[in-house]
Amino acid sequence: MSGHHISSAKFLWTIGAALFVLTVITVAVTWIHIPGPWNVVVAILVALVKATIVALFFMNLYWDDKFNLMLLFLSIAFFILMIGITLLDTLYRDDPIPSF
């Protein structure tokens, strides 16, 4: 483990450029009108790729103590748990739409 990884300037600029290109891609795919629900899936997938790049190479998780990566995975796992249990309720209500 190395908490003090030093990235080269060229590497950081490459990561920034990759994120910029992915932003252009995520806007561009809305122009070709992918039928739902696949448009949401594509948008989330591109966002996940971008977030992974930021976490690994800007937040240095790639070189860092793996314990910090595990913390990130735990937060994602509990987030999925929260969404999952919430949807098990809200998607299957007899009267699904509340008054507000």
Partner 1 sequence: MSEHSAVSDPKTAHIQHHFVDSDQQFDSAKLGMWIFLVTEILFFGGLFAAYIVYRAWYPDLYLQASAELDTFWGAVNTAVLIGSSLTVAMAIRSAQLNQIKGLIYNLYITIGLAFVFMVIKFFEYTHKFDKGIFPGEYYTYEGIAHEKANIFFSIYYMMTGVHGLHVTIGIGLMIWLVYKAKKGVYHSGYYTPVEITGLYWHLVDIIWIFLFPLLYLID
Identify the DSSP state of 42: H
User: Is 72 or 94 the residue whose CB approaches partner 1 more closely?
Assistant: 72
Can you give the length of the chain in residues?
A: 100
Question: What type of residue is 98?
Answer: P
Amino acid at 77: A
Residue 33 phi/psi, 5-degree rounding, is: 50, 70
**Minimum CB distance to partner 1, residue 1 (Å):** 8
Gyration radius of the chain over CA positions:
19
Binding site for partner 1 (CB under 8 A): 3-4, 6-7, 9, 12-13, 15-16, 19-20, 23, 26-27, 30, 33, 36, 39-40, 43-44, 46-47, 50-51, 54-55, 58-59, 64-65, 67-68, 71-72, 74-76, 78-79, 82-83, 86-87, 90-91, 96-97, 100
